[in-house]
Amino acid sequence: MELLLSLQDVSYAYHNLKGETPALSHISFEVSQGEFLAIVGPSGCGKSTLLSIIAGLLTPEQGDLFYKGQYITDRGTDSVMRVGYMPQRDHLFEWRTIYQNVILGLELRHELTPERRDYVLSLLDEYGLYPFRDKKPSELSGGMRQRAALIRTMAIRPDLFLLDEPFSALDSQTRLNVSADIAQIIRSTDKTALLITHDLPEAVTLADRVLVLSKRPACVKREMPIRFSLDRSDPLGIRNTAEYRLYFNQLWEVLTNEQSEIHTG
């Protein structure tokens, strides 16, 4: 598989008058085209900082980023690599209709061509939101809102999806279905995705590979490829397999070691 994104020795620290707080320490990893990579770690370990760096909102203090071999460390948010960021809540704007919400990215990039408009409408149609295109977000269910948020991200045809705990605002039952739903859509379009989560079952169920980060300052603690003999479309079925339990237990051990180190040290 083609190499899409690589991080080399990336470090970052936050500064204030009381001193500096290191958030990331010498992080290196690679993401291949079409891969679904999950990043898990103790809460507050710097996962969101990592996402901001990949999204181009922050420039690392040390280390470099490459997109298909091209140097992109201090590119800002311009479009060498198109990032499709999905925040923790759907953040659909209540003062816009669903259609106006999903074309937001195209509007901001001045790319609202008739061809793109048709693409967005076809996405709405494909994911069952076409009849709701003129409704306000508040009239939609949680799952439909997530789909609208995903279409808003897909509309700009991103090279990389950045999912920042995108399901954490949903109740657990909806979450299970919606996360499987969203992952399925991303997979079927052969898109690359980077999912940040503190939910281990979610990471194991959805990802091709799981990266475990240490406590702050975060470094890569463990990298584990995940393979199932079963089809991924059934999140509950996957969670009942022996493979799932094996992966889960191994990752759980790494994470709990990390947690206990926090408590004892």
Query: Which of 20, 59, 71, 93 forms a contact with other proteins (CB under 8 A)?
Result: 93
What are the CA-CA distances from residue 58 to residues 48, 75, 132 (Å)? 11, 10, 36
Which CB atom, from 96 or from 222, has the smaller least distance to other proteins? 96
104 touches other proteins (CB under 8 A): yes
CA–CA gap between residue 127 and residue 151 (Å, rounded): 9
Instruction: Give the range of 87-95, 112-120, 123-131, 183-191 binding other proteins by CB under 8 A.
Output: 87-95
Instruction: Give the range of 2-10, 73-81, 119-127, 186-194 binding other proteins by CB under 8 A.
Output: 73-81
Where does residue 82 rank: exposed (0-12), middle (13-18), buried (19+ CB within 10 A)? middle
87 touches other proteins (CB under 8 A): yes
Task: Please say whether the beta carbons of 230 and 180 come within 8 A.
Answer: no
Instruction: Give the range of 32-40, 83-91, 185-193, 257-265 binding other proteins by CB under 8 A.
Output: 83-91
Where does residue 198 rank: exposed (0-12), middle (13-18), buried (19+ CB within 10 A)? middle
Contact map string, positions 136 to 175, toward other proteins, x by CB under 8 A: x---------------x---x-----x-------------
Query: Which of 28, 44, 71, 109 forms a contact with other proteins (CB under 8 A)?
Result: 109
Interface contacts to other proteins, rule CB under 8 A? 52, 55-57, 77-79, 83-85, 87-89, 91, 93-95, 104-105, 107-109, 136, 152, 156, 162
